[in-house]
Protein backbone atom coordinates (compact mmCIF):
# COMPACT_ATOMS: atom_id res chain seq x y z
CA UNK A 1 0.00 0.00 0.00
CA UNK A 2 1.27 3.48 -0.86
CA UNK A 3 2.33 5.54 2.14
CA UNK A 4 2.82 9.24 2.72
CA UNK A 5 6.62 9.35 2.91
CA UNK A 6 6.92 11.74 5.87
CA UNK A 7 4.53 9.89 8.18
CA UNK A 8 4.63 6.14 7.42
CA UNK A 9 0.83 6.30 7.23
CA UNK A 10 -0.96 4.94 4.17
CA UNK A 11 -2.09 7.77 1.93
CA UNK A 12 -5.78 7.11 2.62
CA UNK A 13 -5.25 7.11 6.40
CA UNK A 14 -3.15 10.26 6.24
CA UNK A 15 -5.83 11.97 4.14
CA UNK A 16 -8.52 11.00 6.65
CA UNK A 17 -6.39 12.18 9.58
CA UNK A 18 -5.69 15.46 7.76
CA UNK A 19 -9.39 15.98 7.10
CA UNK A 20 -10.39 15.24 10.69
CA UNK A 21 -7.76 17.62 12.10
CA UNK A 22 -8.92 20.32 9.65
CA UNK A 23 -12.55 19.77 10.67
CA UNK A 24 -11.68 19.75 14.37
CA UNK A 25 -9.68 22.98 14.04
CA UNK A 26 -12.51 24.66 12.15
CA UNK A 27 -15.09 23.67 14.73
CA UNK A 28 -12.79 24.69 17.58
CA UNK A 29 -12.47 28.20 16.17
CA UNK A 30 -16.16 28.48 15.33
CA UNK A 31 -17.70 26.95 18.45
CA UNK A 32 -14.96 26.85 21.09
CA UNK A 33 -14.92 23.02 21.09
CA UNK A 34 -13.61 20.55 18.55
CA UNK A 35 -9.96 19.71 18.05
CA UNK A 36 -9.35 18.34 21.52
CA UNK A 37 -12.24 15.89 21.18
CA UNK A 38 -11.40 14.93 17.60
CA UNK A 39 -7.62 14.83 17.17
CA UNK A 40 -6.50 12.39 19.86
CA UNK A 41 -9.39 9.92 19.61
CA UNK A 42 -9.33 9.89 15.79
CA UNK A 43 -5.56 9.39 15.58
CA UNK A 44 -5.93 6.33 17.82
CA UNK A 45 -7.57 4.68 14.81
CA UNK A 46 -4.32 4.94 12.82
CA UNK A 47 -1.39 5.10 15.27
CA UNK A 48 -0.19 3.45 18.44
CA UNK A 49 -1.38 5.13 21.60
CA UNK A 50 1.67 7.21 22.59
CA UNK A 51 2.25 8.60 19.09
CA UNK A 52 -1.44 9.42 18.62
CA UNK A 53 -1.80 11.28 21.91
CA UNK A 54 1.53 13.11 21.58
CA UNK A 55 0.59 14.29 18.09
CA UNK A 56 -2.81 15.45 19.32
CA UNK A 57 -1.18 17.36 22.19
CA UNK A 58 1.18 19.16 19.81
CA UNK A 59 -1.60 20.11 17.37
CA UNK A 60 -3.84 21.36 20.16
CA UNK A 61 -0.98 23.34 21.67
CA UNK A 62 -0.27 25.08 18.36
CA UNK A 63 -3.94 25.94 17.81
CA UNK A 64 -4.31 27.24 21.35
CA UNK A 65 -1.18 29.37 21.01
CA UNK A 66 -2.63 30.94 17.85
CA UNK A 67 -5.98 31.79 19.45
CA UNK A 68 -4.98 32.75 22.99
CA UNK A 69 -3.40 36.22 22.38
CA UNK A 70 -6.74 37.77 21.40
CA UNK A 71 -8.35 36.60 24.67
CA UNK A 72 -5.62 37.25 27.26
CA UNK A 73 -7.35 40.34 28.66
CA UNK A 74 -10.33 38.23 29.77
CA UNK A 75 -8.36 35.48 31.56
CA UNK A 76 -9.35 35.01 35.22
CA UNK A 77 -6.00 34.53 36.93
CA UNK A 78 -7.01 32.89 40.20
CA UNK A 79 -9.24 30.14 38.76
CA UNK A 80 -6.58 29.50 36.11
CA UNK A 81 -3.83 29.11 38.70
CA UNK A 82 -5.89 26.73 40.82
CA UNK A 83 -6.91 24.60 37.83
CA UNK A 84 -3.31 24.36 36.61
CA UNK A 85 -2.00 23.41 40.05
CA UNK A 86 -4.31 20.42 40.31
CA UNK A 87 -3.88 19.51 36.64
CA UNK A 88 -0.14 19.13 37.26
CA UNK A 89 -1.05 16.29 39.61
CA UNK A 90 -3.41 14.65 37.14
CA UNK A 91 -1.27 14.87 33.98
CA UNK A 92 1.50 12.48 35.12
CA UNK A 93 -1.13 10.03 36.37
CA UNK A 94 -2.90 10.16 33.01
CA UNK A 95 0.36 9.64 31.15
CA UNK A 96 1.15 6.55 33.24
CA UNK A 97 -2.33 5.18 32.53
CA UNK A 98 -1.75 5.79 28.80
CA UNK A 99 1.49 3.82 28.89
CA UNK A 100 -0.13 0.98 30.84
CA UNK A 101 -3.27 0.68 28.68
CA UNK A 102 -3.47 -1.28 25.45
CA UNK A 103 -4.86 0.22 22.25
CA UNK A 104 -8.16 -1.62 22.61
CA UNK A 105 -8.84 -0.16 26.05
CA UNK A 106 -7.90 3.31 24.85
CA UNK A 107 -10.28 3.12 21.89
CA UNK A 108 -13.13 2.07 24.16
CA UNK A 109 -12.28 4.78 26.70
CA UNK A 110 -11.97 7.42 23.98
CA UNK A 111 -15.30 6.42 22.45
CA UNK A 112 -17.03 6.70 25.81
CA UNK A 113 -15.41 10.06 26.58
CA UNK A 114 -16.45 11.47 23.20
CA UNK A 115 -20.04 10.27 23.56
CA UNK A 116 -20.27 11.60 27.11
CA UNK A 117 -18.96 14.94 25.84
CA UNK A 118 -21.82 15.05 23.33
CA UNK A 119 -24.30 14.43 26.15
CA UNK A 120 -22.72 17.27 28.13
CA UNK A 121 -22.80 19.68 25.18
CA UNK A 122 -26.39 18.82 24.30
CA UNK A 123 -28.11 18.44 27.66
CA UNK A 124 -25.89 20.03 30.34
CA UNK A 125 -24.31 23.10 28.75
CA UNK A 126 -24.00 25.23 31.90
CA UNK A 127 -24.11 23.94 35.50
CA UNK A 128 -25.21 26.24 38.29
CA UNK A 129 -22.53 28.26 40.02
CA UNK A 130 -21.48 26.92 43.43
CA UNK A 131 -20.41 28.83 46.53
CA UNK A 132 -16.76 29.80 47.16
CA UNK A 133 -16.15 27.03 49.69
CA UNK A 134 -17.75 24.34 47.57
CA UNK A 135 -16.02 25.54 44.43
CA UNK A 136 -12.57 24.88 45.89
CA UNK A 137 -13.40 21.18 45.87
CA UNK A 138 -14.87 21.43 42.38
CA UNK A 139 -11.60 22.95 41.15
CA UNK A 140 -9.49 20.32 42.89
CA UNK A 141 -11.43 17.42 41.45
CA UNK A 142 -12.01 19.06 38.07
CA UNK A 143 -8.39 20.13 37.65
CA UNK A 144 -7.03 16.72 38.62
CA UNK A 145 -9.43 14.76 36.41
CA UNK A 146 -8.98 17.17 33.51
CA UNK A 147 -5.20 16.86 33.88
CA UNK A 148 -5.49 13.08 33.86
CA UNK A 149 -7.55 13.19 30.68
CA UNK A 150 -4.97 15.52 29.11
CA UNK A 151 -2.13 13.09 29.82
CA UNK A 152 -4.07 9.99 28.79
CA UNK A 153 -6.22 11.18 25.87
CA UNK A 154 -5.28 14.82 25.11
CA UNK A 155 -8.88 15.73 26.02
CA UNK A 156 -8.92 18.29 28.86
CA UNK A 157 -11.96 20.18 27.59
CA UNK A 158 -15.20 18.64 28.93
CA UNK A 159 -14.19 18.49 32.60
CA UNK A 160 -12.29 21.80 32.51
CA UNK A 161 -15.23 23.56 30.85
CA UNK A 162 -17.66 22.15 33.40
CA UNK A 163 -15.41 23.28 36.25
CA UNK A 164 -15.08 26.85 35.00
CA UNK A 165 -18.77 27.15 34.15
CA UNK A 166 -19.62 26.23 37.75
CA UNK A 167 -17.47 29.11 39.03
CA UNK A 168 -19.90 31.84 37.98
CA UNK A 169 -17.49 33.50 35.53
CA UNK A 170 -19.00 35.36 32.59
CA UNK A 171 -18.85 33.62 29.19
CA UNK A 172 -15.90 35.68 27.90
CA UNK A 173 -13.88 34.91 31.03
CA UNK A 174 -14.74 31.20 30.84
CA UNK A 175 -13.64 31.03 27.20
CA UNK A 176 -10.40 32.93 27.76
CA UNK A 177 -9.49 31.11 30.98
CA UNK A 178 -10.21 27.77 29.37
CA UNK A 179 -7.93 28.67 26.45
CA UNK A 180 -5.11 29.72 28.80
CA UNK A 181 -5.61 26.51 30.79
CA UNK A 182 -5.36 24.47 27.60
CA UNK A 183 -2.08 26.16 26.70
CA UNK A 184 -0.52 25.39 30.07
CA UNK A 185 -1.97 21.88 30.38
CA UNK A 186 -0.89 20.85 26.88
CA UNK A 187 2.60 22.30 27.43
CA UNK A 188 3.06 20.38 30.69
CA UNK A 189 1.60 17.22 29.13
CA UNK A 190 3.97 17.41 26.17
CA UNK A 191 7.02 17.80 28.43
CA UNK A 192 5.94 14.89 30.62
CA UNK A 193 5.22 12.72 27.58
CA UNK A 194 8.65 13.41 26.12
CA UNK A 195 10.33 12.62 29.43
CA UNK A 196 8.37 9.41 30.03
CA UNK A 197 8.01 7.96 26.54
CA UNK A 198 11.08 9.16 24.61
CA UNK A 199 9.02 9.12 21.40
CA UNK A 200 8.98 12.72 20.30
CA UNK A 201 10.61 12.44 16.87
CA UNK A 202 7.81 10.60 15.08
CA UNK A 203 5.13 12.69 16.75
CA UNK A 204 6.82 15.95 15.76
CA UNK A 205 7.18 14.76 12.16
CA UNK A 206 3.51 13.84 11.89
CA UNK A 207 2.46 17.04 13.64
CA UNK A 208 4.52 19.06 11.18
CA UNK A 209 2.72 17.63 8.15
CA UNK A 210 -0.67 18.05 9.86
CA UNK A 211 -0.08 21.69 10.83
CA UNK A 212 -1.41 22.96 7.46
CA UNK A 213 -4.73 21.35 8.41
CA UNK A 214 -4.74 23.42 11.61
CA UNK A 215 -3.89 26.61 9.69
CA UNK A 216 -6.59 26.02 7.08
CA UNK A 217 -9.05 25.10 9.83
CA UNK A 218 -8.49 28.41 11.61
CA UNK A 219 -9.42 30.31 8.45
CA UNK A 220 -12.40 28.11 7.66
CA UNK A 221 -13.66 28.31 11.23
CA UNK A 222 -13.63 32.09 11.23
CA UNK A 223 -15.36 32.20 7.84
CA UNK A 224 -17.88 29.54 8.79
CA UNK A 225 -18.82 31.26 12.04
CA UNK A 226 -19.74 34.40 10.09
CA UNK A 227 -21.40 32.67 7.13
CA UNK A 228 -23.19 29.71 8.74
CA UNK A 229 -23.55 30.62 12.40
CA UNK A 230 -22.16 28.99 15.53
CA UNK A 231 -25.41 27.16 16.36
CA UNK A 232 -25.44 25.16 13.11
CA UNK A 233 -21.73 24.46 13.40
CA UNK A 234 -22.25 23.25 16.96
CA UNK A 235 -24.87 20.83 15.66
CA UNK A 236 -22.37 19.62 13.05
CA UNK A 237 -19.82 19.14 15.83
CA UNK A 238 -22.26 16.99 17.79
CA UNK A 239 -22.99 14.84 14.73
CA UNK A 240 -19.27 14.35 14.02
CA UNK A 241 -18.59 13.44 17.65
CA UNK A 242 -21.43 10.91 17.74
CA UNK A 243 -20.13 9.21 14.59
CA UNK A 244 -16.56 9.20 15.88
CA UNK A 245 -17.52 8.03 19.36
CA UNK A 246 -19.54 5.12 17.98
CA UNK A 247 -16.71 4.24 15.55
CA UNK A 248 -14.10 4.19 18.32
CA UNK A 249 -16.31 2.25 20.69
CA UNK A 250 -17.26 -0.35 18.08
CA UNK A 251 -13.64 -0.69 16.88
CA UNK A 252 -12.47 -1.21 20.44
CA UNK A 253 -15.18 -3.75 21.20
CA UNK A 254 -14.44 -5.66 17.98
CA UNK A 255 -10.74 -5.73 18.85
CA UNK A 256 -11.60 -7.08 22.28
CA UNK A 257 -13.62 -10.00 20.89
**How sure is the predictor about 182, in pLDDT bands with cuts at 50, 70 and 90?**
very high
- Amino acid 4: pLDDT: 45
Taking only the tens place, the pLDDT of each residue in 11-64 is: 888 888 899 999 999 988 887 778 888 888 888 888 777 888 899 999 999 999
Residue 130 has pLDDT above 70, yes or no: no
Q: Three-class SS string for 236-256?
A: HHHHHHHHHHHHHHHHHHHHH
Does 4 reside within a domain? no
Distance (Å, rounded) from C-alpha 67 to C-alpha 180?
Answer: 10
Distance (Å, rounded) from C-alpha 249 to C-alpha 111?
Answer: 5
Distance (Å, rounded) from C-alpha 147 to C-alpha 96?
Answer: 12
pLDDT greater at residue 84 or residue 237: 84
Does 163 reside within a domain? yes
Average pLDDT for 4-8? 53
Distance (Å, rounded) from C-alpha 79 to C-alpha 98?
Answer: 27
Does 1 reside within a domain? no
Distance (Å, rounded) from C-alpha 117 to C-alpha 161?
Answer: 11
Element (H, E) at 191: helix 171-197
Residue 203 has pLDDT above 60, yes or no: yes
Q: What are phi and psi of 4, to 5 degrees?
A: -75, 120
Separation in Å, CA 31 to CA 23, 45, 46, 159, 162: 12, 25, 26, 17, 16
Q: Are 25 and 211 in contact (CB under 8 A)?
A: no
Does 3 reside within a domain? no
Nearest Cα residue to 42 out of 255, 256, 243: 243
Taking only the tens place, the pLDDT of each residue in 115-126 is: 888 888 777 666
Does 170 reside within a domain? yes
CB-based burial, 109-133: b 16+ in 10 Å, e otherwise: bbbebbbebbebbeeeeeeeeeeee
Nearest Cα residue to 217 out of 66, 58, 30, 26: 26
Nearest Cα residue to 59 out of 239, 215, 224, 248: 215
Nearest Cα residue to 240 out of 15, 12, 28, 9: 28
Give me the torsion for CA of 256, 117, 227, 229, rounded to 10°.
Answer: 150
pTM value is: 0.88
- Amino acid 3: pLDDT: 44
Share of the chain above pLDDT 70, in %: 89
Domain that holds residue 55: 9-256
- Amino acid 7: pLDDT: 57
Does 239 reside within a domain? yes
Task: Give the chain's domain count.
Answer: 1
Does 133 reside within a domain? yes
Does 2 reside within a domain? no
The radius of gyration computed from the CA coordinates of the chain, to the nearest angstrom, equals 17
Distance (Å, rounded) from C-alpha 217 to C-alpha 85?
Answer: 31
Taking only the tens place, the pLDDT of each residue in 88-113 is: 999 999 999 988 888 888 888 888 98
Instruction: Give the chain's mean pLDDT.
Output: 84
Amino acid sequence: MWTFELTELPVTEFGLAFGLVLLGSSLQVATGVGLGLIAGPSLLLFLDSAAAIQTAIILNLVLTACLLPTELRDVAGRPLAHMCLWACIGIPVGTVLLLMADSTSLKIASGLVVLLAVVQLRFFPAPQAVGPGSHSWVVRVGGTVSGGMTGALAVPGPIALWTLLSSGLNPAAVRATLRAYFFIAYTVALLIHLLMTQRGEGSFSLSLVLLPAVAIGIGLGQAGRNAIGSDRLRLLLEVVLVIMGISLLSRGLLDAV
